[in-house]
Amino acid sequence: MRLCARQQQLNALLPLFRTLWHPQPFREARPAWCEHWPALTEELLALDDEAATALNADGHAALVALARHIPEVTALTPLLKLEQRQPPPASGDGERWAWEIPGRKRAQIEAFAAAASSDGQPVLDWCGGKGHLGRLLACQWQVPVRTLEIDAALCRAGEQLARRLGVGQEFIAADALGTDLQAAAGQHAVALHACGELHRRLIRLGAEQGVARFDVAPCCYHLHLGEVYRPLASVSSLPLTADDVRLAVTETVTAGARERRLRDRSMACKLGFAAWRQQLSGDAYRSFKPVPEAWMRGNFGDFMAQVCRREGLEPPVGGDLERFERRGIERQREVFRLSIVRHAFRRALEVWLAGDLAVSLEERGYAAVLGVFCARELTPRNLLISARRD
Ligand SMILES: C[S@@+](CC[C@H](N)C(=O)[O-])C[C@H]1O[C@@H](n2cnc3c(N)ncnc32)[C@H](O)[C@@H]1O
């Protein structure tokens, strides 16, 4: 399917389901859709932990479950089928380029390198960390590579690794948000998991300055965003808040049982506090500042004492403390289940966001493709925008 046609269809379809993906059950005890679809609500609230965890983790399965109640959502399914790019080569042990790289990260980098291809231009590795991707490309493509990274210590570590391998890779310790891209004219820009405005700036400014090729796997679309998303492509017309954009990247495949327990407890504590604050003030839900991890280490009473002190509220005591702890646990259970509905739309939003970047490059004269460079088990941020201008 043509990029632009997919983007237009998502522009038209996603607003039809906005009442399903926009409300956050963390903030609204019962989003309005619960009243419209009581059977769906009942079915979700009755799920056991295992089934709820599986549906929260698998957007496709969530969409299928939703379609049993709201068949119209299946119109999204064909739009989410993207070209699978080159499968990664079997990863042998001990290649010299890959010293010190954890297995999953290494497999992501190898998959990215296999899915991208070179016309021999010098490479600009954008927000490259220790430059692992750049080092592999310098090795495989035999081209000079410049890795731009804000953290000078990572640059130094990367320089050492490059020297050890004897490849032509240079590091620039600089802020990608302040760097002018003139020197990148005619070059091949690659970016593996540069967050939010970092990848948007590369694409926007890089296209203006005449970058010849792009291979960009975006992540954390919501970072450095402001309150709303401003599309890069003229054809993109879906209004999204920063919270909507964040929804696109809430999927994680790496959480183990312990991490999940900690996440659930942390959410239950916050929901217990939100309920207590609402009882004291009588107001609707208000967001609150992030809570330090350390506050979760003690019991619920310790947590409430700290967060209430910060927010200038009396903490609950005695029966109230127990009641609000229970309330938080019950709310967490419900929020987890009702969130399956939003999570069914996560991939569609991500495809729209990546589609916006890809179409913006088409509009600027590039031949662009949006594909998938690795299995989601390796990383859910597995979309790759590849573009070239001859
Ligand atoms: C998720 S990591 C990806 C690193 C590398 N591309 C990879 O896949 O291994 C994002 C990198 O962007 C860097 N970074 C964050 N803000 C930056 C900025 N303003 N300018 C340049 N680099 C930045 C971080 O230090 C980090 O190394």
Q: What confidence tens digit (pLDDT) does each residue in 158-175 have?
A: 999 999 999 999 999 999
Q: Cα separation of 66 and 40, whole Å?
A: 8
pLDDT digits (tens, 9 = 90+) for 68-107: 999 999 999 999 999 998 666 665 545 777 877 888 899 9
Tell me which residue has tokens 């399965």.
61
Q: Is the CB of 176 under 6 A from ligand 1?
A: yes
pLDDT score recorded for residue 94:
53
Q: Is the CB of 132 under 6 A from ligand 1?
A: yes
- Of 11, 82, 46, 15, which is closest to residue 340 (Cα–Cα)? 46
pLDDT digits (tens, 9 = 90+) for 201-221: 999 999 999 999 999 999 999
pLDDT score recorded for residue 209:
96
CA 148–ligand 1 middle distance (angstroms): 9
Q: Is the CB of 111 under 6 A from ligand 1?
A: no
* Alpha helices, H only, 166-241: 197-209
Pocket test for ligand 1, best of 123, 124, 126, 150 (most atoms within 8 A of CB): 150
- Of 59, 58, 24, which is closest to residue 244 (Cα–Cα)? 24
Apex CA 143: angle with CA 200 and CA 178, to 5°?
30
How many other CB atoms sit within 10 Å of the CB of residue 342? 23
Give 359's pLDDT tier (boundaries 50, 70, 90): very high
| Average pLDDT score over the chain | 94
Q: Is the pLDDT of residue 187 over 50?
A: yes
Task: Give percent helix, percent strand, percent coil of the chain, each to the nearest 5.
Answer: 55, 10, 35
Apex CA 385: angle with CA 161 and CA 187, to 5°?
55
In terms of pTM, does the model score above 0.75?
yes
CATH code of 83-251+345-388, in short, is: 3.40.50.150
The residues, ordered by sequence, that sit 6+ positions from 109 with a Cβ below 8 Å of its Cβ are 101, 132, 133, 136, 192
pLDDT score recorded for residue 251:
72
pLDDT score recorded for residue 259:
86
Q: Is the CB of 72 under 6 A from ligand 1?
A: no
Q: Is the CB of 46 under 6 A from ligand 1?
A: no
- Of 166, 222, 218, which is closest to residue 193 (Cα–Cα)? 218
More confident residue, 321 or 103: 321
Q: Could you please report the per-residue DSSP string of 91-125? A: --TT-GGGTT--HHHHHHHHHHHHH----S--EEE
**What percentage of the chain has pLDDT greater than the value 70?**
96
pLDDT score recorded for residue 99:
74
